[in-house]
Structure 1
């Protein structure tokens, strides 16, 4: 049981200490439905109250947020032993959350690579299309 009338920083520091996490670990909470509470993304955890993000009398699962180096992909790992025993659906949900950020990271990399390519093929295609449009316009003119 926790007091939600405290700032996010105090709550996360308390959870890290109680659950024997390293101080540098990034943690977050997942509710029983699989919704990520995003406490790790709070911009000013020293000023924001926990009650803004969590509901009273609810159960939450502590998770570790692992940011992959040289990437925006994020992996989520449960810190509850036997998660699949207590919450069978949440194991899949954590994998989905991790895959979602991995796919988003790959998409961003792909779009950056597409932007870096020269636009000559698109420009050539546009010129060809506009020429064919003009020639078709001339074909429809009565003589």
Structure 2
């Protein structure tokens, strides 16, 4: 039970699915020379994010639960913003658009969708927490004032 992970300057790594998610991600970080604190994930050739970076029990969950054998995956870096809602995805396969034109667009969509969700939630939260203030109404001219204004403009 193996999968192929593509990264770098068209590098490939065959990995065994019978390992824990934590072991797989640590191995892939070493291979692509990522920092240990970096978050990585995989994208399949159809553009589906595998969400390995969100596995709660990465030390005990097997990779075979999340990946399909004999498939090809692209290694990506997950860059989280101030909150876990704002996320950007970067390909760790150089020239992704050359190898997988649709996947380059898909990564941009994934990044934009999480940023838009974050902005929408932040905006709706701000709207809810802002105190409502009303502006005083402007006085309306009475009929006498209106007629006086009209007479003054006709001269």
In structure 2, distance between residues paired with 1:70 and 1:12 = 22
What is the CA–CA distance in structure 2 between the aligned matches of 1:113 and 1:84, rounded to whole Å? 38
Deviates more, 1:111-120 or 1:82-91: 111-120
The separation in 1 between residues aligned to 2:121 and 2:73, in whole angstroms, is 31
Q: Aligned pair 1:5/2:44, yes or no?
A: no
- Structure with greater contact order relative to length (CA < 8 Å, sep ≥ 6): 2
TM-score by structure 1 length?
0.80
1:95-136 per-position Cα deviation (integer Å, ceiling 9, x unaligned): 000000000000111111121134677xxxxxxxxxxxxxxx
User: Which is greater in Rg?
Assistant: 2
Judged with a 3 Å threshold, the aligned counterparts in structure 2 of structure 1 residues 95 and 2 are, in CA distance, closer, same or farther, namely same
Q: Distance in 2 between matches of 1:101 and 1:25?
A: 19
Give 2:79's aligned residue.
Answer: 66
User: C-alpha deviations, 1:46-104, integer Å up to 9, x for none?
Assistant: 01100000000000000000011367310000000111111000000000000000000
Match for residue 153 of structure 2? none
Structure 1 segment 50-129 matched on structure 2, within 5 A: 50-69=63-82, 72-118=85-131
Segments ≥4 residues shifted beyond 6 Å: none
Alignment RMSD: 1.5
Q: How many equivalent pairs are there?
A: 121
User: Which SS does the other structure have where 1:2 is aligned?
Assistant: strand
Distance 2:53 2:124 in 1: 27
SS in 2 for 1:48: coil
Specify which structure has the higher proportion of strand: 2
Distance in 1 between residues matched to 2:52 and 2:90, nearest whole Å: 15
1:14 corresponding residue in structure 2: 27
> How far does residue 33 in structure 1 lie from its aligned partner after superposition?
0.4
Structure 1 segments unaligned to the other structure (5+ residues): 122-143
